[in-house]
Structures are given as C-alpha cells and as structure tokens.
Amino acid sequence: MDKIKNFFKRTLSVLKDFGYSLLKGIKKIFSNKKTVTGAVIIVIYVLIAIFGPLIFPYSTETNLKDKYLSPSLAHPFGTDWLGRDVFRQVIDGTGNVLEIAFYSALITVVVGTVFGIVSGYIGGWVDRVIMSVTNIFLSIPSFPVYLLLAALVVIETPISLALMISIFSWAGLCRAIRVQVMSLKERDFIQICKVMHMSKAHIIFKELLPNVFSYIAINFVMAMRNAIVASVGIMLVGLAAYDPTNWGAIMNAARTKGLVNPNNVRILLYPLVAIVIFQVATLMLANGLDETLNPRLKVM
Amino acid sequence: MDRSPLMRLENINMVFKKPGSLLKDRNIHVLKDINLDIYEGEIVAIVGESGCGKTTLGKIITGLIRPTSGNVYFNGNKVSGVFSKDISSYNQVQFIQQDSYAALNPVRTIYQSLYAPIKTSNRKLKTKEIDDKINELMALVGLLPAEQYLSKYPHQLSGGQRQRILMARAISLNPRLIVADEPVSMIDVSLRLSLLNLMKELNKKLNMSFVYISHDLSTTRYIARNGRVCVMYLGEIVEMGNIGDVIETPRHPYTRALIQAVPVPDPEYHGNDDLPLKSMQLGTLEDRGDGCSFIERCLYSCDKCKQKIEHVTTDTAQVLCCNLENVPKQSVYSLKGKKK
Amino acid sequence: MENKNILNENIAEFKQISIEYPLKKYTIKAVTNITLPIKRGKITALVGESGSGKTTLSSSIIRCISEPGRISGGDIYFYPKDGTELHLKDLSDKQMRKFRWAKVSMVFQAAQSALNPVLTVRDQFFETLQEHDSPLSKEEKEKHVRGLLEYVKLDAERVLSSYPHELSGGMKQRVMIAFSLILDPELIILDEPTTALDVITQSYIFNLLKDINRDLGITMLLMTHDISVVAKFADYIGVMYGGRLMEYGDVKSVFKWRNHPYTEGLIGATPSIIGDVDLVKPIEGNPPDLMNLPSGCIFSPRCPYCKDICKTAEPDMVEIDGGLKGKCYFYKEAKNG
C-alpha cells in the first residue's frame, strides 16, 4: 500500500515539476510582445482555416449573371469573373496555404537538421559529401527546376507541392545547423561526455539537440514564411494550379483575366493582403522567439 | 621504485599539421619525447606557460586525443583512446576542466548531468540506487543539502559550486586517475583553497591519483606538497622531481626564471627584478630539430646545446640540460632576495 | 615651480562615492560610499574578488561605467599638474572626452578586444592622436610613436605595420601600454593587465610599468585579484569587498599588521612558493551576494572574530597611526593585540 502511495507521490511531484517548468518556459516565451502578437495572428489564421469553410462553405458553382459584383453584405469581397464569391474563396484557400507551409517547414527542418547534425558531428568524408550536395542545391536557381518539375510530375496534393518547395530550402538550414554542431562538439561538456564513454545517441539527442532546439524553432517559423511565398509564387505563374482556391491560384486567375479591369485588381489584392499579414505575423514570431531564446540577444 | 605505474607515457610526440606553403605543410611539434609514469594514489603536477603543451598532454592522458607517436599504458596494458573499448582503462581516467561553465551542458540540470554518466556506466542500476549515489557524491564534495543544487541549471550556481559539481561528476565513475586542468584558475581567491583542499581529501580518501595541470606554481606547491612536479617548456619536460626540491633549488635555467617570476604575497621579498633570461620571446614549435629548445633564451647556453640532449639525473630531479654544471645552484630564497 | 609647492599630494580622490546599477526588478549597489585617495606619483592597488566593485570604481574616473550603471552619490576630484582642481562629476561629456586619455588613460585586461582588429597598430596610434587635435606634424607623430614603442621594448618597425592578431599576448599588452602613454597622461588605470598572461611575461610587464612609474612620474591605479602582485608592485593598497573599501594603507604596513580580518584572510589564503604550506588556510563561506547583503558588517558571516555588535550595524572607517584605515569595530585593538 505504502509503495503505491509513494509511487503516486513521486509521479505527482515529477509531474508537478514538469508542469511548473513547462509553465515557466511558456511564460518566458510569451513575455515577449512580438511573440504574442505573431502567435495570435497565426492562431487566428489556423482557426479560419479550420472553421471558416464550415461557416462560409464555398461552392465551385458558377453564376455568370452575378459576375464582378462589388462588395456587399452577401459578398463581402465581391465576386469574380465566374460570379464566385471571393471572400469564400480566400477563406477556403487559407487551409491549403497553411498546409503547404506547415508540411514544407516540417520537411525542411527535419531534413536540414538531420543532415546538418550528421555532417557536423561525424565530419570527415560524410561531411564533405553532404556539403557538396548542399552546394549543388544552393547554387542551382530554383525557378527553372520548378518549371521542369511541374512539367514532369502532376502536383495535386499540398504535400507534393511542399516537397517541391523543400528541395531548395533544406540546404541553407543544413549548413547553419552544421556550423552550430561543429562548434558545440568542441565545447567542454561534449568532450567530457566522450571521456565518460557516453553513447553517440546520448551525445546527439540529449546533449547537442537541446542546444540547437531554439534555433530550429525559429527556423521552422522562417521556413513556413518562405514556403508561403514560394507556393503562392508557383501557383501565381500557374505551374501547379491544382486548387482553384489557393491564394496564388486566385491571383493567377485575376491576372490572366486582365488587370485592365479594376475588379480583377481588387480581387488580386485580397489574397495579397492576407499573405502580407501572415508574413508580418511569422516575422514577429520568429524575431520574438529569437529575442527570448537566443542568449546572445538577451538584455539585462 | 619497483611498483608498476598506473599510467605510463612512453616517448609521446604530438605533431599538428598546419597548411603552410603550397609544397609543404608546417609541422607544429606540440609535444616532444614525453616520458612520464604516474603511480597509484599520487599527485603529479604539470606546470608550464600557455603554449607549452600541458593541456594537450592532459588530453592524451584522458584519451581524448591520440598522440602522433608513442605509447600510453594503463595498468600495464596499451590503450589507444576514448572510443576504444579497452576494459583496462574504461572510465578509469576522468577529466576536470578549467571552465566550469563550459563543462556543463547549459540546458541540462545538475541532476541530469550527474545521472546520465552513472546510468550509462551501469544500465542495471535502478533510479533509486543512482539517486542514493548522487546524494553520496554531493555530500562528498560538500554541497549540502543536495536537493538545493540538483534541480538547478549551471548558470544558477556560482563558479565554486560548479567546480565542485565537476568533481562530483569526475569521481562518480570511481576512476583511478583524475586529470584536473587548471581547476581553480577561474575561481575567486578566497574559494580556491577550499577546492584544493577538497581535491587533496579525495586523493587521500579514495586513493585516486591526480594529474594537476597549472601555470601557477604557488597553488601547485600547495596541492602537490610531497608529490612530483613536471616543468614543461615548449612541449618538453625540462625538469621533473619532488615539488619541494624543485622549488627550493631549481636546476634548469627555465625553472629558475619561472620561479623567480612568481610573485610572493609578501612585500619584503622582491629584490631581484631582472629575470635570468636572454629574451622574453618564446621559441618556435615549428619543424624542430634535436637541439635544446630553450637555447635562445638561456644565459648558460654552450656549443653542446645544439646537439641532441638527454635528461640528466641530479640529486633532486631529472633535468633536460647539457650544461648543468655551469648553471648556478641557488636556492629560492636567494633568487627572491629578501629586501631589508 | 611655485605650483609644485601647493600641488596636492593626491592626484585624484574619491569622495563618498556610490555607484548603482538600476535593473528592472532591483538595484545593485556596486560601490557604496567609498572615500579613497590616489597618491601622486605612486602605484595604488585595488584588490578584491569578482563583484567587489573595483573595476566599476576605477572606470568611474573616466566615466566608462558599463550600462546602466550611474554614480548615485559623492564626487571624484582630480588635481592636474597645473595646480587646478577638477570636479569630474561636473564635466560635460565633451570636456570628459578631452580629459579622457589626455589626463587619464587605461590599460585593459583583454588587450585583444581593446585593439581594433582591422587596423594596423600605426593607424590606431595616429587616429588617437588625430582625435585629440595633436599639434604634431606627421614626422613628429611617427617619431613620437616609435619612441613609445621602443620604450616598451618593442621592435617599432615590425609592430607598427602589424595587425593585432599578428602579435603575441605579451606584445599586445605592451602595445596597449605604449598606447596609454601616447597623450602623456598623468594617471594610468591598469585593469588586471596581466591576468591572461604567463608569469614570466607578467614579470616583464610589471618591471616595465614600474620603470614608467619611476622614470616618467606617472601615477598608476592597479586593479587586481592577486594579492601577490600587489605585494610585488604597489605602494598603496585598497582592499575591496562587496562594493566597500575594507582597508587602505601603504602596502608594507598593511601586509605587516594584517589589521583587518578580511585582509588577513586574503593574505592567509594565498599560497606562496616560499614558507610553510600548512599555514595557508581558506576563508570560510562564500563571497557576498550584492542583491542580498548581510546586515551589519558585510564580512561578518565569514569573519573569524565576529562579535554581536558586528551583526547589528555597519562599522565606520577608522584611521590609526601611520595612515592606515580600516572598516572594522576592532581595527585598532587588533593592531595592539
């Protein structure tokens, strides 16, 4: 009986400690105004992406008689050349854009971190091979390759588009992580791990990774930002127009229908503003995280 | 001495290559023909200026780096570095570094930093047993109550406390030899002594051998007391002997200069300001020949100094000098010249 | 010549000076109510452990206290050769810029970071001369700088065209010393000038500084944590602890009498290469936490002679014969006993 009691007591105290430190960490992170503002805006975007289409369902139905309507209560952003509601289009596209950004950032960060750590920690010929590969990816101009890829494969899911974007974004992160790992591995606390015969897995996951974690978190946000620019760009030039409600696709449609028509210019502006606000939010979040997590920027 | 040494270093050489001209790399000869025996339970001090190779030697003893040539024996068996699975030296040599802040992972708590090595060394141990062991270690290094320190991060502790944590971590794996590289040079003066006392106590209580690396002869004399000292100059051991004797009557011209340069905490003592040296310029480590490396700074150099030189055994020490009979034999007191 | 007679025997004086660091949540008192003379032509050493406030105190002379520190009370007087009296607190920032380096210069611990890594030594010397409107012609400047470098026993030809990274630690520190002499100052502040250097280099540097002090008559204020260096080098000593001046006097008497318990502990805790090793003993306890200072005498928790009165109120500075001053209730008695 006592044993069980003790067990519960210990578990409780461990949980309490963990919760406390978690709370403290969260409190610290959100003590920065930029971080809070950025995070709130991003959360709003996510909420719109999840619940928006449920409240304002979008239909592909065309209604030529209602084309190019000015903004009104029924159509807050007006309608496009096929009489479709632009407001509902933009809301429906949010999820798609966020999905692409999230997947792309995830792929970038995972691939970049894994190769960066391997390259920096192991060194030698492994490092040389990985570095030459990143050099190739960093020196090839990305857009012609997108053109080529778009011609070769059919892009029809957010993941495939995210993959395409990540091809060119992981290399930069990989190099940055590598440099950090290289300097960390010469530090005294890693040297002592070697003297104490700790396993490589322990050194990498328990000693090195936590030290670059804040850097990875900041880069995740930045990778998301880059992915949105890239995905909208790709859609805008019509390289992967698989989803008509993607913001890039909306802009592309408006563009191809001729910007002489002021209605098209207006339609073009809505997704553009949505992108700009999201960009600002991600930048604020990244800068805010950098300020709180990066010890070199810490002020008294 | 007929006991066999715990660790034996045999003709250790360490050469780093640096890119030089197009055709040839520059060879930086950091350690040259080091021979050193370390016995069970003794304190060996290694003293020298920065750049003399003392830290490199320390890293070779802990197995962190492998010498370019020469052999390291532990307990009579040849060993080849940290990642070899030599059972004979496995975790038996530990390391205490100079910068206690850099030696602890900043994002891990003290408890985590102490727990992991013990767990790794013996997977069968239960958490309860490891906790007991950690509490025991904390008591041994004088950090009580232990709970007050264990949940903290390195930056929340003072330099002296962190240095004690490093000692606790070093002895946690029951090593037989601990290399301490300038362990007190970054610690406040009033706390240094208690740390040195702690090391001496561990040495006696647990019969662990210590290699104490330092540039400071005063603290070295305090901790090594009856132990041996190796004075290093440009990667060579120029004088080795009982620390009391070496300080009392230094024989090598370099040791003499070193001892005269050390300030004494007594204003009555500073008579002779001019060091017995020709120049203050350190010699080069690059592409070294056989001759004496102290030749450019030595007041007593002769023609023989350019040839290969050997250690000479005097009544107090082993000295690397070919012209010893011409070097004046002067005690530390007359070197210091007490002013009246 | 008339001036000489009335020239103050001190070159500078701290009067009741307090320096604070106001932070977000609390204020750190780095220096509390210190009165300290700096004797003209002598070497005064401030000794103390990290956090004792010695660097803050001395950098206040040339208004170089690191942010957000500020002087919260007291004043610093400076008595230049011309017989005037300067209240350093009242100088405008512009006047201070003129005053700095021309009257008081500083040699830092990290010579590496004090020298600009992308300029040659020559450029740095010339730039400083330029900034202070030196009336010298180009040739005269070159001659002046060369003379200084040769004075600190450097090969002027080589050093002038070198970048800082091409020089060894000892050479850099000597360049810094030459640099501090460039405008012919009256006082040089030395902030741990040899901490990063070897004992042999340290010995050379201090011999050099002593020569400068003797030959050029420049006053020096040395900050160090190493009491052995003070014994070897200084004429006067100020012992600092937790932002307070605990004892002041001439080096020989302070070392001989060891009147103040902290000074006694500090000297007693310093191992030497001479004498009985067994007599060395540590000071118990930990250095004071500036945010949570003990009540009464701040050394009382570590003091082996602590009495009840020591815990109640902070003692005043007591002066005894021979110019020794100490902050301790039993300062005089300790000497007699």
Domain boundaries defined on chain A? 32-297
The nearest alpha carbon in chain C to A300 belongs to C23
pLDDT confidence tier of residue B46, bands split at 50, 70 and 90: very high
| Nearest one of A62, A50, A57, A59 to A96, comparing CA atoms | A50
Res. A295: pLDDT tops 60: no
* Interval C131-176: pLDDT, tens: 887 788 888 888 888 988 888 888 888 888 888 888 888 888 888 8
Contact between B218 and C270 using a beta-carbon 8 Å cutoff: yes
* Interval C321-335: pLDDT, tens: 778 888 988 886 654
Res. B201: pLDDT tops 70: yes
For the segment B15-23, the average pLDDT, to the nearest whole number, is 76
Q: Is the pLDDT higher at A299 or at C119?
A: C119
For the segment C187-204, the average pLDDT, to the nearest whole number, is 86
Whether the CB of C287 is below 8 Å from some CB of chain B: the reply is yes
* Interval A25-35: pLDDT, tens: 777 777 778 88
Q: What's the N-to-C CA distance of chain B in angstroms?
A: 44
Contact between A191 and B94 using a beta-carbon 8 Å cutoff: no
Distance from CA of C66 to the nearest CA of A (A): 12
% chain A with pLDDT above 90: 6
For the segment B93-115, the average pLDDT, to the nearest whole number, is 88
Q: Reduce the DSSP state of residue A257 to 3 states and report it.
A: coil
pLDDT mean across residues, chain A: 79
CA atoms within a 13 Å half-sphere pointing along the CA-CB vector of A215: 21
Separation CA B168–CA B308 (nearest Å): 44
List of chain B residues whose C-beta atoms are within 8 Å of the C-beta of residue A199:
120
List of chain A residues whose C-beta atoms are within 8 Å of the C-beta of residue C68:
300
% chain B with pLDDT above 70: 93
Whether the CB of A300 is below 8 Å from some CB of chain C: the reply is yes
Tokens (6 digits) for C116: 């600009």
Touching chains, B (3+ CB pairs < 8 A): A, C
Q: Reduce the DSSP state of residue C191 to 3 states and report it.
A: strand
Q: What is the DSSP letter of B134?
A: H
> Could you identify the residue written with the tokens 């830290």?
B55
The nearest alpha carbon in chain A to C68 belongs to A300
Backbone angles phi, psi at C318, to 5 degrees: -110, 135
Q: Reduce the DSSP state of residue C46 to 3 states and report it.
A: strand
**Domain B7-92+175-336's class?**
alpha beta
Q: In this complex, which of B82, B99, B173 lies closest to A188 when CB atoms are compared?
A: B99
Res. B339: pLDDT tops 60: no
| Nearest one of A290, A292, A112 to A215, comparing CA atoms | A290
pLDDT of residue C321: 79
pLDDT of residue C334: 54
The nearest alpha carbon in chain A to C67 belongs to A300
pLDDT of residue B331: 76
pLDDT confidence tier of residue B231, bands split at 50, 70 and 90: very high
For the segment B149-174, the average pLDDT, to the nearest whole number, is 88
Q: Is the pLDDT higher at A265 or at B232?
A: B232
Q: 10 Å Cβ neighbour count for A85?
A: 22
pLDDT mean across residues, chain B: 84
Touching chains, A (3+ CB pairs < 8 A): B, C
Q: In this complex, which of B193, B197, B332 lies closest to C274 when CB atoms are compared?
A: B332
pLDDT mean across residues, chain C: 86
Q: In this complex, which of C202, C210, C269 lies closest to B190 when CB atoms are compared?
A: C269
Whether the CB of B103 is below 8 Å from some CB of chain A: the reply is yes
Separation CA A211–CA A205 (nearest Å): 10
Backbone angles phi, psi at B13, to 5 degrees: -125, 145
Distance from CA of C299 to the nearest CA of A (A): 28
B195 near B164, Cβ under 8 Å?
yes
* Interval A81-135: pLDDT, tens: 666 777 777 777 787 788 888 888 899 999 999 999 989 888 888 999 999 999 9
List of chain A residues whose C-beta atoms are within 8 Å of the C-beta of residue C24:
300
- What does DSSP say about strands C86-87 and B317-320: parallel, antiparallel, or unpaired? unpaired
Whether the CB of C240 is below 8 Å from some CB of chain B: the reply is no
Tokens (6 digits) for C223: 């900050």
- What does DSSP say about strands C43-47 and C219-224: parallel, antiparallel, or unpaired? parallel
List of chain B residues whose C-beta atoms are within 8 Å of the C-beta of residue A11:
none
Distance from CA of B100 to the nearest CA of A (A): 9
List of chain B residues whose C-beta atoms are within 8 Å of the C-beta of residue A197:
82, 90-91, 120-121
- Give residue ranges of A with CB < 8 Å to any B CB: 17, 187-189, 191-192, 194-199, 202, 206-207, 210-211, 213
Domain boundaries defined on chain B? 7-92+175-336
% chain B with pLDDT above 90: 16
The nearest alpha carbon in chain A to B64 belongs to A195
Contact between C286 and B260 using a beta-carbon 8 Å cutoff: no
For the segment C315-319, the average pLDDT, to the nearest whole number, is 88
Q: Is the pLDDT higher at B258 or at A159?
A: B258
Whether the CB of B176 is below 8 Å from some CB of chain A: the reply is no
B73 near A162, Cβ under 8 Å?
no
List of chain B residues whose C-beta atoms are within 8 Å of the C-beta of residue C229:
263
pLDDT of residue A82: 67
Tokens (6 digits) for A113: 């971190």
Contact between C255 and B158 using a beta-carbon 8 Å cutoff: no
Q: In this complex, which of B50, B158, B265 lies closest to C270 when CB atoms are compared?
A: B265
Q: Which of A196, A202, A294, A300 has the most B C-beta neighbours within 10 Å, making it the best mutation to test the interface with B?
A: A196
pLDDT of residue B271: 64
Q: Which burial class, exposed, middle or buried, applies to B149 when counting CB atoms under 10 A from its CB (0-12, 13-18, 19+)?
A: buried
Q: In this complex, which of B82, B102, B108 lies closest to A195 when CB atoms are compared?
A: B82
For the segment A195-215, the average pLDDT, to the nearest whole number, is 84
pLDDT confidence tier of residue C97, bands split at 50, 70 and 90: confident
Distance from CA of B95 to the nearest CA of C (A): 23
* Interval B88-99: pLDDT, tens: 667 788 999 888
Contact between B102 and A189 using a beta-carbon 8 Å cutoff: yes
A93 near A52, Cβ under 8 Å?
no
Distance from CA of B51 to the nearest CA of C (A): 10
Res. A220: pLDDT tops 90: no
Contact between C231 and B265 using a beta-carbon 8 Å cutoff: yes
The nearest alpha carbon in chain A to B103 belongs to A189
Res. A57: pLDDT tops 80: no
% chain C with pLDDT above 70: 96
Contact between B191 and C252 using a beta-carbon 8 Å cutoff: no
Instruction: Please report the domains of chain C, with CATH numbers, ordered by start residue.
Output: 2-103+185-294 (3.40.50.300), 117-184 (no CATH)
Distance from CA of A203 to the nearest CA of B (A): 10
Q: B with C: how many residue pairs have Cβ under 8 Å apart?
A: 130
The nearest alpha carbon in chain B to A202 belongs to B116
pLDDT confidence tier of residue A64, bands split at 50, 70 and 90: low
Just give the CATH number of A32-297. 1.10.3720.10
Q: What is the DSSP letter of A263?
A: H
pLDDT confidence tier of residue C337, bands split at 50, 70 and 90: very low
Lowest mean pLDDT among A243-252, B235-244, B287-296, B319-328: A243-252
List of chain C residues whose C-beta atoms are within 8 Å of the C-beta of residue B260:
203
Contact between C49 and B274 using a beta-carbon 8 Å cutoff: no
Q: What global pTM score does this model have?
A: 0.83
Q: 10 Å Cβ neighbour count for B158?
A: 16
Q: In this complex, which of B190, B266, B332 lies closest to C49 when CB atoms are compared?
A: B190
Q: Reduce the DSSP state of residue B35 to 3 states and report it.
A: strand
User: How far apart, in Å, are the Cα atoms of C219 and each of A186, B278, C187, C190, C210?
Assistant: 44, 30, 5, 11, 10
List of chain C residues whose C-beta atoms are within 8 Å of the C-beta of residue A300:
23-24, 68
Q: In this complex, which of B225, B265, B277 lies closest to C228 when CB atoms are compared?
A: B265
% chain A with pLDDT above 70: 83
pLDDT confidence tier of residue C1, bands split at 50, 70 and 90: very low
Distance from CA of A43 to the nearest CA of C (A): 31
For the segment A219-239, the average pLDDT, to the nearest whole number, is 80
List of chain B residues whose C-beta atoms are within 8 Å of the C-beta of residue A198:
116-117, 120
Touching chains, C (3+ CB pairs < 8 A): A, B
Q: In this complex, which of C252, C269, C273 lies closest to B259 when CB atoms are compared?
A: C273
pLDDT of residue B337: 67
Q: In this complex, which of A195, A199, A210 lies closest to B94 when CB atoms are compared?
A: A195
Contact between B95 and A211 using a beta-carbon 8 Å cutoff: no
Q: What's the N-to-C CA distance of chain C in angstroms?
A: 46
List of chain A residues whose C-beta atoms are within 8 Å of the C-beta of residue B106:
211
Whether the CB of B88 is below 8 Å from some CB of chain A: the reply is no
* Model ipTM value: 0.84
Res. C45: pLDDT tops 90: yes
Lowest mean pLDDT among B39-43, B253-257, B292-296, C53-57: B292-296
pLDDT of residue C111: 64
pLDDT confidence tier of residue B83, bands split at 50, 70 and 90: low
Lowest mean pLDDT among A116-125, A267-276, B220-229: A267-276
Q: In sequence order, which ranges of chain A are alpha helices (DSSP H)? A: 2-29, 33-55, 86-122, 124-139, 142-152, 158-166, 170-185, 188-195, 200-201, 209-236, 247-256, 262-293
Helix pair angle (A86-122, A124-139), 10° resolution: 150
Contact between B104 and A189 using a beta-carbon 8 Å cutoff: yes
pLDDT of residue B84: 63
Separation CA B65–CA B237 (nearest Å): 19
